[in-house]
Amino acid sequence: MSRAFRWWANPWFVLVLEAIFVTASEVLLKVGASETRRVAGWEWTGLLSLASIWIWVAIVFVILSFLCWIYVLRHIPLSIAFPLSNVVHVLVPLSCWIFLGEHISGTRWCGIAVVIFGLAVVAKPVAKIEEKL
Amino acid sequence: MAIFIFTIEIAAVVAGQLLLKHAMEESNRLGFRDRRVLRLFFSGVASLTISFFLTIALLQHFDLSFFYPIQGSTVVLIVLAAVVFLREKLSIRLLLGSLLISIGIVIVSLS
């Protein structure tokens, strides 16, 4: 990983982007699914959710996140990239709280804090690698 | 039966990520159009697709709150698998961080 990257091609930046795309897709899937849940018949297949524009936008985000993940895997060890990609378990509840007005219980806040602590523990040696990039 | 499907589902996630990572490593050396790289890449995609449908099958029988914490364990499993099969470096710090993330996911999903 001694190659120099432009900021937008930096694998760590793309990893953050991947997490944001996953979060956006999850939130939009929820919005789209809620919009179309009252349509009668075939509701259990999930196919009628395709009537919502948000589902299509979410699908675009899913594809973008996969492309980002492929790029990340090309440059970052899986044993570091995968744990860090779990930042979505912090971003998704926070986004649901901020954008969808969902309630987060005290226990869930504790869980989010533990995940953040774990991410920090994994990310500290990463910061040293980044200095070498 | 359920435990069997759980095991296959988690194995498919781990295998899928390992295959994708291996494909990307090889693509650095051989280019993305190499047959070996493409074989690894599509095996990885196939493995993740299997895990996706097994997840849906499991969700039809179990609550998300029961199923999700088990998913959290994939963090540690993928780190260990990457160390064993891809010979990536393991540090106490990485293992500890991954464990904390797994525990955090379990707490988030149980609450």
- When the pLDDT of each residue in chain B is averaged and rounded to a whole number, the result is 89
Q: What is chain A's percent helix, strand, coil content, to nearest 5?
A: 80, 0, 20
Contact B79 A110 (CB under 8 A): no
Residue A112 clears pLDDT 80, i.e. is over it: yes
pLDDT at A102 over 80: yes
For residues B105 and A108, what is the distance between their CA atoms, to the nearest angstrom?
A: 9
Asked if the C-beta of A111 comes within 8 angstroms of chain B's C-beta atoms, the answer is: yes
Residues of B in contact with A69 (CB under 8 A): 20
Across A34-38, A69-73, A103-107, B9-13, least confident range: A34-38
Q: pLDDT by residue (tens digit) across A17-73?
A: 999 999 999 889 888 877 776 655 555 556 677 778 888 999 999 999 999 999 999
What residues in A contact B90, CB-CB < 8 Å? 79
Closest chain B residue to A92 measured between Cα atoms? Answer: B108
Q: What is the pLDDT of residue B72?
A: 80
What local confidence, expressed as pLDDT, does residue B111 receive? 65
Q: What confidence category does residue A3 fall into, taking pLDDT thresholds of 50, 70 and 90? A: low
Distance from CA of A73 to the nearest CA of B (A): 5
DSSP state of B66: H
Q: Could B104 and A116 be called an inter-chain contact, meaning their C-beta atoms sit closer than 8 Å?
A: yes
Residue closest to A21 by CA, chosen among A87, A120, A98: A87
Percent of chain A with pLDDT over 70: 81
> What average pLDDT does range B68-92 have in this prediction?
89
Percent of chain A at pLDDT > 90 equals 50
pLDDT the model gives residue B61 = 77
Whose CA is closest to A13, among A98, A93, A75, A91?
A75
> What are the distances in angstroms from CA B105 to CA A35, A99, B4, B76?
28, 21, 23, 12
Q: Would the pLDDT of A127 be above 80?
A: no
Q: What is the pLDDT of residues B29-78, one digit of tens each?
A: 888 889 999 999 999 999 999 988 888 788 777 776 677 777 788 999 99
User: Residues B2-26: what's their mean pLDDT?
Assistant: 92
pTM, to two decimals: 0.85
The answer, yes or no, to whether ipTM is higher than 0.90 is no
- A31 touching B (Cβ < 8 Å): no
The predicted structure's pLDDT at residue B3: 82
User: In this structure, are residues B106 and B69 in contact, taking their beta carbons and an 8 Å threshold?
Assistant: yes
Look at A50 and B10; give whichever has higher pLDDT: B10
Give me the residue from A74, A106, A115 closest to B104, CB to CB.
A115
Q: Report whether B8 contacts B55 (CB < 8 A).
A: no
